[in-house]
């Protein structure tokens, strides 16, 4: 087959009109009289004068105004994902976000609390319960020491439990934030808060913001790709990678972990790529007429999306195909081509990072260790979860590091809140399995790579691992910090919607945690 | 003068003196029993606390008078002038009452110093001026000019005294503290929120560790504006000078130091300090304790006390610079046309490092095999502006060695999974700025190591899946930099 009939159309073919006045506007201009002119001139000159005056006094009018003045993120509507430089020189160019949906227990993994262990099994003192709400704990629960032994390791001498023997080897690359705090208490809103900066539906996710701000270099792949490990979809649902109020082209594209990465990407039987091409050309023509008639930029976006899907037929399949990796890499990750697993997704994540995908979001599932059944017991299901993520996560870090990608890739690992130092006693009963309830007051996440100070721990909780005693970090502070690493002042990466300069960090003041920057 | 007229004058004089007497009492009080900085929990302070409440009435009454006078000049509002005398009398009585309450508060509330003295005398003189206005406005209307001057003087005094009073309660810079930056520069008001008048020497333990605690927690009551208990903690001299009950620090004796006793009491205790606020943090108490124990000197070096809690560093703040588009355009002027041309020719792979920079990043890796030696040649025009070049997985060959070596300002060079051989790497000795070099998966051999080892700024050398292996062959200064 020759190359020419299936080559995508050059974007220059499209007749994009912009800024030309409509007939109504022209008619209105025709109706202007000399008197209109003089009347408007007086008012207009006055406005101009006030405008120049006001611009000198902008900080006076609104000190926050200067902070939120918009950067220019406009692009040719035919290439909405084209890359833009960051606001400031940035260490990190892309993000791999490993979200452990369900909220893993920090007390079984990273938070070494010998005092809590000492009081294991004793009644929780009333002072820890006063004014607190729990999802399931009722009455007076018992304190629960860590179920697993801790030790210090690595050159940085950080503490870690025996559940993550592989990640342990990468500890010197990791920066722990042990004083994360959220104001959300249930999984879905808490996940939304972590991923979109807001616990309610309808806001743009972190990945969408980043692709909006930076675009993506590889136009043959989406800039924001989401991979699930199989099992349960996160409680927050597809809203977690929604573009919210941002143009829809910036939303995350969920790719399947086995089989075709994107459904219906392959041509149906007896449809050749050439036929698909000519079909797309026809659709493009129709869409272009629609655009000429209505001028809605979303139409052009739609054309661009069709074109990307066409290009993705080749590239996405290649990027997702981990069979192309040698055996030793599979041994390193513990990945098995053909199944849906976190290990496979970690390997795919590295392949996507190499190909310039801006934001790669992995969700693992099943970390909600209440102890209500074996699957979510700290001594049973939790072990499986650790095993599922430990080796692939460590392999991802090591692989990124040896390929030099960790330099400019930001890896984030964490859940949506923490877990209580008390044993869950659902309905006031002693439960068959060991578990912990939700604790929004303190949890641990860790970062690695792209401009993060490695081998350190930031923040501290009390001896019970229950409340933060030093350097609390709100979700919005984390977002501001990550955006800073990616080259943005979080005020400036904004989008005007409903009368507000919307930001990932929302409206409360957020602090860049300068202490964890390399 | 008729009898009735004389009676009126007499009654006015009586009334006048009845109003003047309390004013004179206040003058006496302020002159002979001024505030002494001691706090007294008694009736006086209780009553005094109503001063801020009451003081606004005479202010309003007094300021109403010029309005009535001016409005009364028009025939339509002439009747307003009839009220002037009454309103002035109210203002005088109110001002006197407010002054008495003010004295009660100043005397018992632990105030002393220049500010309170000025405020008090301002208030007292205002009482006299009120009285004078009343006299002039009611009975001596013939002295119209004197009356007008007295009114203007009074209005000025109201403003000045009120400002001093607000400084006492809200802080000396309460009006300008939150002034927006634009207006501040317009009016030439200095921003002294952060700058303290005289900072102690930060190389001493006192200056670095002790004074900051006092400044943060104590000087709102024991500072330049208020010095309750006659104690000032805004300087070493003030601290060692002690308060009304004598020294607060006894050198070397923690038990004998009243300051230490008070900051370690239970928060509800009568003597607890800082009164009404949260107790000092454990680290702060410990720091003060160690310093007193070590002799409470103001010359002790900042690092002299070994086991002192680490200084609580104020949370670092990240500042975001403004980007000036004109300056950026100027910076880019020489290369902008070439960059624009290249961006058109090779979409998405070349861009500026940031919005404020003229440095370039080249990422040809996404083009893979479609990018070769010929394509790289096109970037020759801008090669000295490229700081990051990713040519991984491209089809470039050793022919591109010259083009790469010409990118003299490279910080990051990625050549992963290319077919480049030693001959290219041996020519990279020109890259003096290079911090990160990635040769992962290339057919490179240990023969290049001496050249690589000489790169002055190199911190990361990614040499996995190459002929280079961990072991003895590595030059010593590369061992910590090479990543496999």
Q: Do A407 and B412 touch (CB under 8 A)?
A: yes
H-assigned helices in A16-56: 23-30, 34-56
Spell out which residues of chain A touch residue B317, defining contact as CB-CB under 8 Å: 511-512, 514
The predicted structure's pLDDT at residue B9: 67
Mean pLDDT along residues A451-470: 92
The predicted structure's pLDDT at residue A12: 42
Please classify residue B22 by burial: count the beta carbons closer than 10 Å to its beta carbon, then call 0-12 exposed, 13-18 middle and 19+ buried: middle
User: What is the torsion angle, in degrees rounded to the nearest 10, for the CA atoms of residue A476, residue A481, residue A484 and residue A488?
Assistant: -10
- Give the 3-state secondary structure of A342-361: HHHHHHHHHHHHHCCCCEEE
What is the Cα–Cα distance from B152 to B66, expressed in whole angstroms?
8
Q: Residue A518 pLDDT more than 90?
A: no
Rounded to 5°, the CA angle B215-B220-B225 comes to: 110
Range scoring the smallest mean pLDDT among A307-321, A387-401, B49-63 = A307-321
A–B: how many Cβ contacts below 8 A? 99
Q: Residue A14 pLDDT more than 80?
A: no
Q: Which of B94, B100, B108, B99 is nearest to B46 (CA)?
A: B108
Cβ B291 vs Cβ B260: under 8 Å: no
Element (H, E) at B11: helix B3-32
Please report, for residues A514, B314, B341, the alpha-carbon distance to residue B204 in angstroms, rounded to integers and kept in the order given. 27, 18, 60
What is the Cα–Cα distance from B323 to A75, expressed in whole angstroms?
20
Q: Residue A264 pLDDT more than 90?
A: no
- Give the 3-state secondary structure of B363-396: EHHHHHHHCCHHHHHHHHHHHHHEEEEECCCCCC
What is the Cα–Cα distance from A217 to A100, expressed in whole angstroms?
28
Q: Do B462 and A402 touch (CB under 8 A)?
A: yes
Where are the domains positioned within chain A? 94-516
Q: Closest partner residue to A60 among B180, B356, B484, by Cβ?
A: B180
| Beta strand segments in A408-459, E | 409-414, 418-423, 436-439, 443-449, 456-458
Instruction: Indicate the pLDDT class of residue B409, thresholds 50, 70 and 90.
Output: very high
Instruction: Indicate the pLDDT class of residue B461, thresholds 50, 70 and 90.
Output: very high
Residue B465 Cα, gap to closest chain A Cα (Å): 9
* Dihedral of alpha carbons B322, B328, B331, B336, sign: positive
Mean pLDDT along residues B416-434: 93
Instruction: Indicate the pLDDT class of residue B4, thresholds 50, 70 and 90.
Output: low
CA-based end-to-end distance of chain A = 53
- State the ipTM, two decimals: 0.83
Q: Closest partner residue to B440 among A403, A407, A515, by Cβ?
A: A403
Instruction: Indicate the pLDDT class of residue A303, thresholds 50, 70 and 90.
Output: confident
Cβ B413 vs Cβ B362: under 8 Å: no
Express each pLDDT in B217-232 by its tens digit. Answer: 888 788 776 777 778 8
Q: Which of A196, A166, A207, A109 is nearest to A446 (CA)?
A: A109
Please classify residue B245 by burial: count the beta carbons closer than 10 Å to its beta carbon, then call 0-12 exposed, 13-18 middle and 19+ buried: exposed
Q: Residue A5 pLDDT more than 50?
A: no
Query: Higher model confidence: residue A209 or residue B279?
Result: A209
Residue B178 Cα, gap to closest chain A Cα (Å): 10
Range scoring the smallest mean pLDDT among A257-261, A295-299, A321-325 = A257-261
Nearest chain B residue to A517, by CA: B318
Express each pLDDT in B313-346 by its tens digit. Answer: 556 778 888 888 889 999 999 999 999 999 999 9
H-assigned helices in B42-143: 43-48, 51-54, 56-72, 81-108, 114-138
Q: Residue A19 pLDDT more than 70?
A: no
Mean pLDDT along residues A476-496: 95
Mean pLDDT along residues A314-327: 87
Express each pLDDT in A188-217 by its tens digit. Answer: 999 999 999 999 999 999 999 999 999 999
Express each pLDDT in A150-192 by its tens digit. Answer: 999 988 889 999 999 999 999 999 999 999 999 998 999 999 9
Q: Which of B244, B314, B257 is nearest to B288 (CA)?
A: B257
Mean pLDDT along residues B442-465: 93
What is the Cα–Cα distance from B91 to B66, expressed in whole angstroms?
13
Spell out which residues of chain B touch residue A82, defining contact as CB-CB under 8 Å: 347-348
Query: Residue B275 CA to chain centroid, in angstroms?
Result: 25
Please report, for residues A38, A255, B383, the alpha-carbon distance to residue B379 in angstroms, rounded to integers and kept in the order given. 55, 36, 6
Per DSSP, the residues of A234-250 read PTTGGGGG--TTS-GGG
Spell out which residues of chain A touch residue B483, defining contact as CB-CB under 8 Å: 401-402, 404
Q: Which residues contact A40 (CB under 8 A, 6 or more apart)?
A: none
Pairing of strands B460-462, B482-483: parallel
Nearest chain B residue to A355, by CA: B366
The predicted structure's pLDDT at residue B180: 78
Q: Residue B418 pLDDT more than 90?
A: yes
Express each pLDDT in A224-234 by its tens digit. Answer: 999 999 888 89
Q: Closest partner residue to A56 among B182, B359, B365, by Cβ?
A: B182
Nearest chain A residue to B440, by CA: A403
Element (H, E) at B482: strand B482-483
What is the Cα–Cα distance from B223 to B211, expressed in whole angstroms?
12
DSSP reduced 3-state for B279? coil
Nearest chain A residue to B359, by CA: A89
Residue A231 Cα, gap to closest chain B Cα (Å): 33
Q: Closest partner residue to B462 among A63, A403, A511, by Cβ?
A: A403
The predicted structure's pLDDT at residue A68: 44
Q: Residue B3 pLDDT more than 70?
A: no
Q: Residue A487 pLDDT more than 50?
A: yes
- Give the 3-state secondary structure of B158-184: HHHHHHHHHHHHHCCCCCCCCCCHHHH
Q: Do B180 and A63 touch (CB under 8 A)?
A: yes
Instruction: Indicate the pLDDT class of residue A56, thresholds 50, 70 and 90.
Output: low
Q: Which residues of A touch B (CB under 8 A)?
A: 56-60, 63, 71, 79, 82-90, 217-219, 354-356, 401-404, 407, 471, 484, 487, 489, 491-492, 511-512, 514-515, 517
Per the prediction, chain B carries an average pLDDT of 86
What is the Cα–Cα distance from B438 to B440, expressed in whole angstroms?
6
Query: Higher model confidence: residue A398 or residue A132?
Result: A398
The predicted structure's pLDDT at residue B224: 72
Q: Residue B208 pLDDT more than 70?
A: yes
Mean pLDDT along residues B94-118: 86
Per the prediction, chain A carries an average pLDDT of 88
Please report, for residues A57, A371, A422, A426, B177, the alpha-carbon distance to residue A434 in angstroms, rounded to integers and kept in the order given. 62, 5, 10, 11, 56
Cβ A358 vs Cβ A365: under 8 Å: no
Residue percentage of chain B with pLDDT more than 90 = 40
């Amino acid at each position: 087959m020759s190359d020419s009939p299936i080559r995508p159309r050059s974007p220059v073919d499209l007749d994009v009109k912009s800024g030309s006045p409509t007939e109504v506007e022209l008619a209105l201009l025709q109706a202007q009289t000399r008197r209109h002119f003089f009347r408007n001139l007086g008012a207009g000159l006055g406005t101009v004068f006030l405008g120049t005056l006001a611009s000198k006094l902008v900080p006076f009018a609104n000190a926050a105004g200067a902070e939120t003045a918009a950067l220019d993120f406009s692009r040719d509507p035919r290439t909405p994902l084209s890359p833009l430089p960051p606001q400031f020189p940035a260490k990190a160019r892309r993000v791999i976000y490993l979200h452990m949906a369900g909220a893993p227990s920090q007390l079984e993994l990273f938070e070494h609390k010998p005092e809590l262990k000492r009081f294991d099994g004793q009644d929780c003192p009333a002072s820890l319960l006063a004014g607190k709400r729990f999802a399931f704990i009722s009455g007076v629960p018992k304190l629960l020491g860590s179920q697993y032994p801790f030790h210090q390791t690595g050159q940085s001498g950080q503490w870690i439990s025996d559940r993550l023997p592989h990640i342990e080897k990468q500890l010197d690359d990791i920066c722990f934030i042990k004083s994360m705090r959220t104001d959300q208490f249930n999984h879905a809103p808490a996940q939304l808060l972590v991923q979109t900066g807001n616990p309610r539906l309808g806001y743009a996710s972190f990945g969408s913001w980043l692709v909006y701000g930076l675009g993506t270099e590889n136009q043959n792949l989406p800039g924001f790709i989401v991979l699930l490990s199989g099992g349960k979809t996160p409680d927050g649902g597809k809203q977690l990678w929604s573009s919210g109020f941002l143009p829809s082209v910036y939303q995350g594209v969920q790719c399947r972990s086995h089989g075709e990465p994107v459904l219906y990407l392959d041509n149906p039987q007896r449809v050749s790529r050439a036929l698909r091409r000519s079909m797309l050309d026809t659709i493009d023509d129709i869409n272009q007429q629609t655009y000429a008639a209505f001028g809605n930029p979303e139409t052009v976006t739609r054309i661009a999306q069709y074109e990307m899907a066409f290009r993705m037929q080749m590239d996405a399949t290649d990027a997702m195909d981990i069979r192309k990796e040698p055996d030793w890499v599979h041994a390193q990750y513990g990945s098995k081509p053909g199944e849906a697993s976190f290990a496979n997704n970690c390997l795919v994540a590295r392949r996507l990072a190499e190909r310039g995908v801006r934001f790669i979001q992995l969700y693992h599932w099943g970390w909600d260790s209440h102890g209500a059944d074996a699957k979510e017991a700290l001594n049973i299901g939790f072990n499986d979860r650790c095993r599922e993520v430990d080796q692939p996560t460590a392999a991802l870090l090591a692989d990124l590091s040896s390929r030099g990608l960790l330099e400019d890739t930001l890896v984030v690992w964490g859940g949506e809140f923490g877990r209580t130092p008390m044993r869950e006693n659902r309905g006031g009963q002693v439960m068959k399995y060991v578990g912990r309830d939700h604790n929004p007051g303190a949890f641990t996440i860790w970062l690695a790579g792209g401009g993060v100070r490695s081998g350190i721990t930031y923040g501290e909780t009390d001896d019970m691992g229950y409340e933060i005693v030093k350097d609390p970090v709100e979700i919005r502070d984390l977002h501001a910090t990550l955006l800073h690493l990616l080259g943005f002042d979080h005020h400036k990466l904004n989008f005007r919607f409903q009368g507000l300069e919307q930001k990932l960090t929302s409206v409360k003041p957020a602090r860049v945690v300068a202490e964890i920057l390399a | 003068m008729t009898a009735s007229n004389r009676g009126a004058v007499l009654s006015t004089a009586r009334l006048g003196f009845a109003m003047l007497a309390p004013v004179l009492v206040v003058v006496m009080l302020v002159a002979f029993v001024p505030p002494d900085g001691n706090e007294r929990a008694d009736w006086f302070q209780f009553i005094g606390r109503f001063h801020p409440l009451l003081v606004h009435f005479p202010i309003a009454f007094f300021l109403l008078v010029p309005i009535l006078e001016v409005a009364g000049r028009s025939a339509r509002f002439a009747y307003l002038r009839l009220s002037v005398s009454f309103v002035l009398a109210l203002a005088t009585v109110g001002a006197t009452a407010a002054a008495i309450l003010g004295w009660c508060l100043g005397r018992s509330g632990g105030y002393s110093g220049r500010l309170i003295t000025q405020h008090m005398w301002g208030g007292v003189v205002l009482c006299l001026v009120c009285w004078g206005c009343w006299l002039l406005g009611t009975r001596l209307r013939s002295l119209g000019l004197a009356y007008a001057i007295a009114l203007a003087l009074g209005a000025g005094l109201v403003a000045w005294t009120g400002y001093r009073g607000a400084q006492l309660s809200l802080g000396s810079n309460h009006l300008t503290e939150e002034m927006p930056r634009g207006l501040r520069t317009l009016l030439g008001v200095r921003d002294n929120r952060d700058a303290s008048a005289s900072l102690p020497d930060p190389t001493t333990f006192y200056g670095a560790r002790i004074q900051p605690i006092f400044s943060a927690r104590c000087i709102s009551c024991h500072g330049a504006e208020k010095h309750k208990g006659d104690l000032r903690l805004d300087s070493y001299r003030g601290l060692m000078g002690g308060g009304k009950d004598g020294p607060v620090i006894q050198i070397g004796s923690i038990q004998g130091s009243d300051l230490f006793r008070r900051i370690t009491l239970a928060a509800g205790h009568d003597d607890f300090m800082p009164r009404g606020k949260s107790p000092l943090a454990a680290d702060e108490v410990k720091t003060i304790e160690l310093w007193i124990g070590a002799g409470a000197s103001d010359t002790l070096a900042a690092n002299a006390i070994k086991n002192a809690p680490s200084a609580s560093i104020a949370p670092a703040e990240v500042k975001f610079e403004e980007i000036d588009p004109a300056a950026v355009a100027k910076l880019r002027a020489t290369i902008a046309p070439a960059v624009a041309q290249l961006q058109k020719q090779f979409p998405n792979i070349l861009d500026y490092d940031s919005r404020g920079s003229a440095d370039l990043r080249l990422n040809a890796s996404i083009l893979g095999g479609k990018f070769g030696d010929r394509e790289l040649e096109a970037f020759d025009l801008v090669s000295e502006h490229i700081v990051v070049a990713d040519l991984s997985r491209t089809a470039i060959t050793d022919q591109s060695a010259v083009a790469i070596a010409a990118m003299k300002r490279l910080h990051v060079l990625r050549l992963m999974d290319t077919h480049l051989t030693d001959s290219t790497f041996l020519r990279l000795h020109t890259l003096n700025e290079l911090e990160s070099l990635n040769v992962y998966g290339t057919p490179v051999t240990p023969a290049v190591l001496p050249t690589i080892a000489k790169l002055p700024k190199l911190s990361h050398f990614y040499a996995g899946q190459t002929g280079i292996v961990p072991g003895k062959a590595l030059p010593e200064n590369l061992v910590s930099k090479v990543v496999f």
